[in-house]
Amino acid sequence: MSPSTEISVVEVEAAAPATICMGCWDQMKVPVPIRGPFSVPFRVFGITQSKMNPNICTICERAFRRVKKGSHFTQDATILFSDIRGYTQLSETIDPVELAQVVSEFQDQCAASIWARNGIVNKQMGDGLMAIFNFPIKATEHTQRAVEAGLDIQRRCKTSLAQLSDRFALPHGRLGVGVGIHTGPVEIGEFSKVRSDFTAIGGVVNMAARLEGCAGAGEIVLSPQAAERVPELVERATERQVNLKGIADPVNAVILGG
Ligand SMILES: [Zn+2]
């Protein structure tokens, strides 16, 4: 019997399933049924739950211009990036079918943590993802929600990734999740003619991605601006000065976990 490479299933604390789309309601005050009998005629016209978050609908996802009456706008939001540290080594060691299982389970665990806090999984790129908090579902405490999601992702994935790391005796450090979080004004909208879904762009997004890039296995790396918004959550955090590619000055990053 071969040892399992699957990330162990932990209890999913799903957000309460909404009967109307929380995005359409928060952005337009329009009730779009996404569950229950009233959602049936909408489903006939292809309006269903979004894959970014099952509590928003495909109108929010693909009809940004109609929802926001423009191609893009500026929004205060928190951006979270997450990926598996040591993934390249793992991918060179492990059978591709098993690798796919690991990635799929990781993505599912991340999504559950993010959805439970009203964030959306905006992009998935192999073993990585980008989440947005505060659009289209509004949240006054969006930085706190993002950091809580980061902590939950670490908690869900820690044991199983450590077991995988031991099993394959990976040479350069252990497998684990790296998370980067930054907060501030981002530009949200449709920026491509070939894709119909929205995304967020701007310096805040780049910085969140760079912070994730310097996170070690098990670490959540926060920008000073994000840390400032969640004083209770960073009481026991450490600081590390990091040089980020494309960003002139060193950043005093705030580190949780590791
Ligand atoms: Zn919607």
Give the 3-state secondary structure of residue 122: strand
Distance from the alpha carbon of residue 156 to the mean position of ligand 1, in angstroms: 29
Residue 9, pLDDT score: 36
Please tell me what DSSP assigns to residue 37: G
Q: What is d(CA 229, CA 236) in angstroms, rounded to the nearest whole number?
A: 15
Task: Give exposure, 187-224, as e/b (b: 16+ Cβ within 10 Å).
Answer: bbbbeeeeeebbbbebebbbbbbbbbebbebbbbbbbe
Centre of ligand 1 from the C-alpha of residue 202, in Å: 24
Ligand 1 centroid–CA 200 distance in Å is 17
| Residue indicated by tokens 């009730």 | 31
Residue 248 clears pLDDT 60, i.e. is over it? yes
For ligand 1, the distance from its centroid to the CA atom of residue 70, given in whole angstroms, is 16
> Residue 67: which pLDDT band, with cuts at 50, 70 and 90?
confident
The residue type of 138 is K
- pTM comes to 0.92
Dihedral sign computed on CA atoms, order 86, 91, 92, 93: positive
Cα 58 to ligand 1 centre (Å): 6
- What mean pLDDT comes out for the span 23-51? 95
Q: Which residues pair with 178 in a beta bridge?
A: 83
CA 45–ligand 1 middle distance (angstroms): 14
- State the average pLDDT for the chain: 91
Question: For residue 66, how far is its CA from the centre of ligand 1 (angstroms)?
Answer: 11
Domain spanning 71-257, CATH architecture: 2-Layer Sandwich (3.30)
What are 79's strand-pairing partners?
A: 132, 182
pLDDT band at 41 (very low <50, low <70, confident <90, very high): very high
Question: So where are the chain's domains?
Answer: 71-257
CA dist 127 and 224 (Å) reads 26
